[in-house]
Amino acid sequence: MSDVPADYGTYAAGRSEPRFTDWLRARSEPAWSDAVDGRFVREFGAGTLEEAVFADYLVQDYVVVDALVAAFGHAVGQAPDMAARRPLVTFLETVTDEENDYFRRAFEALEVPAERRDDPEPTATTAAFCDLLGRAAREGGYAETLAVLVPAEWVYESWAAAVAADHGDGTSPPSAGADLPFYYAEWVDLHAVPSFVEFVAWLRGQLDDVGPALSPRRRRRVERLFTRTVELEAAFFEAAVEADG
């Protein structure tokens, strides 16, 4: 991060087509690399991640998804117009329908007891992540909410796309050519299908649009929120594999 200007204006001045989100990602290193290419992701991609570890991870992630849905709900209300609200609402429908259905089927296949999946004990990292999502949405504006939503989704799109490239056949959804159980393969699918990739690109564009016009104080706050989200993503993945020793 030391080579990336702390001021976005300085960063942008040296580039022909600067993007606010590229600056935020660069400022978040090394946490970004830890999140998209850490031990959890490598073992997942290699097919060596233990089922018990993945089950524990999904239980905790289901808690985070609940907080994420609430944060997206705030974003819908904060969005500047109906055109911006529509993609957010569509995404919420996907998460509360298709993705929720995935969780339920995966829990069943992994034999996760109902009380464990419906009333889990959040880890310290999970609790911190949920707290950050809630505070950013409740205490800030659209930019602050985007500052946590963009990296939360972008990290998943980045590592899932890499896994999909290794397991897909290039012409069909990743799971069609993957030698993985459905709960692994579909988890990749959910975060690598074109509709999700396009949504992440759109979400980044929203932050690219509002970020440069923010006051220096709010830009610093957005940067801190973005970086903290990436740090928690990396810690979340690491906690899952560390629990297994």
Q: Return all residues near 176 (Cβ < 8 A) that are at least 6 apart.
A: 168, 169
Per-residue confidence in pLDDT tens, the chain, 245 aa: 568 999 999 999 979 999 999 999 999 999 999 999 999 999 998 889 999 999 999 999 999 999 999 999 999 999 999 999 999 999 999 999 999 999 999 999 999 999 999 899 999 999 999 999 999 999 999 999 999 999 999 999 999 999 888 765 443 444 434 567 899 999 999 999 999 999 999 999 999 999 999 999 999 999 999 999 999 999 999 999 987 55
Helix and strand element counts for the chain (H, E) = 13, 0
| pTM to 2 decimal places | 0.93
DSSP letter at 36 equals H
Give SS3 for 88: helix
Q: Which domains does the chain have, with CATH numbers?
A: 49-242 (1.20.910.10)
